[in-house]
Structure 1
Amino acid sequence: MEHALEIEQLFVSYLGNQVVKDITFSVKKGSLVGIIGPNGAGKSTLMKAALNLISKDKGDIKIFGEPLKKWKKNIAYVPQRSDIDWDFPITVIDVVLLGTYPKLGLFRRPSKNDREWAQECLKTVGMENFSGRQIGELSGGQQQRVFLARALAQKAELFFLDEPFVGIDVASEETIINILRDLKKEGKTILVVHHDLSKAESYFDHLLLLNQYMIHYGASEEVLQPEVITKAYANQFSFLQPKGVNVTS
């Protein structure tokens, strides 16, 4: 089966300290993968390095067997909410329209069809009635849904989401995970930085367990075995259950 993402011997430093060390793994096309690990494990750093948003010390990254630049227009990225300026004066529909820009080309503006598609994406995430709102007026869950709509508008093949479930309501979380499952059924590949271990097995078919080094990568039920998970989390929690950890890291 074709690999959507291949990372080999990736090393990344931050402020002079190496925070991602010798990471090698590959993700098959059509997978829904959670990236888990304790705070400071390098989860977001790994994702940003894979997208060339930050520089790496060394390592090889391929998208569908080719260099990243050949697939950039077909990769959608949803950053952490804390990385976004919510005071920027932009409406919901204009945020979603930004997803159409990578494939428009230079000096082209969104067409009527693009606007209709953006509205359809808002409908998919249940936000079609908020298109004229300023993005900062929305709740955390609503904001996250809008940014997922922007990713959908891009018609990407590979999706990266960094902590999409942090600080949002239950309804928004259910909406988002159901959309991600639908994308997987369509053959899309999704990687998600995730923190809640209690939901990891039900959300993802594969997990990458990270603590600067890669601890384990495999099927969710395999990674969430106590003897595996404790290698990353050590003494950060005091009890385990057979299928994982009933705590949030």
Structure 2
Amino acid sequence: MTKVPILQVENLTVAYERHPAVHHVSGAFHAGSLTAIAGPNGAGKSTLLKSIIGELRPSEGRIIHALNRADFGYLPQATDINRRFPISVLDTVLLGAWKSAGAFGRITTAQLEAGRHALSAVGLEGFEKRPIGSLSAGQFQRVLFARLLVQDAKVILLDEPFTAIDARTTRDLLDIVARWHGEGRTVIAVLHDFDQVRAHFPQTLLIARELVGWGATDEVMSSVNLLRARAMAERWDENSVICEPAA
């Protein structure tokens, strides 16, 4: 069966003050694939994901796709989310309905039912009226996954989705990731746990600012590649590498 690219990365460089966090990366995510972005700390994993979603602009190269913004579902790192905002669990989940409701549209009965069903699917039935600030880290992550369920996106981007949550919640959310994959959605997740990568993600993009490997997980996550990625990360000099724009 022919694999169809849904999103291509072409010679992508993303730099902060001309110091590259991602450097000349090229490759393709195929429709319906389940891919982990892995690598050492500071390897550019989250930067790559933010470039795909459009939060960061490339310094060089480009992201190629024929998707609309509404086709993407994005879960940022938990530290990037303000949980002090006075909003209920159900209202947070219903933010995933913006694609059909619009910025100022009214939530329909069907959307309310979808929100409640999504909360039930993540194990939070009965939590609808609770403020999000009262939730544990694991409960809040379940809420964000419920929001993605309501959003019903073609491409789902997850940035460190299992960090600082309990093992049971991780298992439950991994089941949802597997469900998305089974439905033919394209799922891309930044992960730091290599055991999770090997156990649950058939494709891996291994990066250490530069691309180390991209393909089948059992091939990419070899001991040789992991040692190479670590060595690349350790020898990268933040102060000496300047990324000049192409002529």
Q: Is the TM-score greater than 0.5?
A: yes
SS in 2 for 1:61: strand
Contact in 2 for aligned 1:73/1:103 (Cα 8 Å): no
Which residue is 2:36 aligned to? 34
Residue 43, structure 1, aligned to residue 45, structure 2: yes
Which of 118, 132, 135 aligns to 1:121? It is 118
Residue in 2 that maps onto 1:59: 61
Offset from partner CA, 1:67-108 (integer Å, 9 cap, x none): xxx421111000000000111111110111000012323531
Counterpart of 1:108 in structure 2 is 105
Contact between 1:12 and 1:20, CA under 8 Å: does it hold in 2?
yes
> Among residues 50, 56, 73, which one is paired with 2:70 in the alignment?
73
Q: Deviations over 1:187-230 (max 9, x none)?
A: 01100000011221111000100010011001111111111111
Gaps of 5+ in 2: 234-247
SS at match of 2:165: coil
Give 4+ residue runs of structure 1 displaced > 4 Å after superposition: none
Give the CA deviation at 1:232.
0.5
In 2, Cα distance between equivalents of 1:47 and 1:167: 20
Which of 189, 205, 209 is residue 206 of structure 2 equivalent to?
A: 209
Aligned residue number for residue 246 of structure 1? none
1:189 aligns with 2:186: yes
Report whether the alignment pairs 1:90 with 2:87: yes
Alignment deviations for residues 83-138 of structure 1 (CA, whole Å, 9 cap, x no partner): 00111111110111000012323531211111111111111111122111111111
**In structure 2, distance between residues paired with 1:142 and 1:59:** 39
Deviations 1:34-70 (A, max 9, x none): 000111111000000111112221222123xx2xxx4
What residue is the counterpart of 2:8 in the other structure?
Answer: 6
Task: Report deviation, 1:7.
Answer: 1.0
- AA aligned to 2:49 is M
* TM-score calculated relative to the size of structure 2: 0.90
Task: Quote the Cα distance in structure 1 between the aligned partners of 2:104 and 2:164.
Answer: 37
Equivalent residue for 1:162?
A: 159
Q: Distance in 2 between matches of 1:235 and 1:19?
A: 13
TM-score (norm 1): 0.89
Matching residue of 2:173? 176
Name the count of aligned residue pairs.
232
Answer whether contact 2:13 2:24 (CA < 8 A) is retained: yes
Determine which of 132, 136, 148 is the counterpart of 1:139: 136
1:34 aligned counterpart, secondary structure: strand
What code does the residue aligned with 1:37 have? G
Q: 1:126 to 1:12 in 2, by over 3 A?
A: same
1:4 and 1:27 in contact (8 A); partners too: yes
Q: Distance in 1 between matches of 2:122 and 2:104?
A: 29
Report the Cα distance in structure 1 between the residues aligned to 2:28 and 2:170, rounded to whole angstroms: 27
Give 1:122's aligned amino acid.
Answer: L
Are the structure 2 counterparts of residues 41 and 235 from structure 1 closer, same or farther at C-alpha, using a change threshold of 3 Å?
closer
In the alignment, residue 189 of structure 2 is paired with which amino acid?
V
For structure 1, list consecutive stretches of 5 or more residues without a partner in the other structure: 237-249
Percent of residue pairs bearing the same amino acid type = 36
Go from structure 1 to structure 2 and tell me whether the alpha carbon gap of 1:164 and 1:106 turns closer, same or farther (over 3 Å shift).
closer
Q: Distance in 1 between matches of 2:119 and 2:103?
A: 25
The code of the aligned residue for 2:13 comes to: F
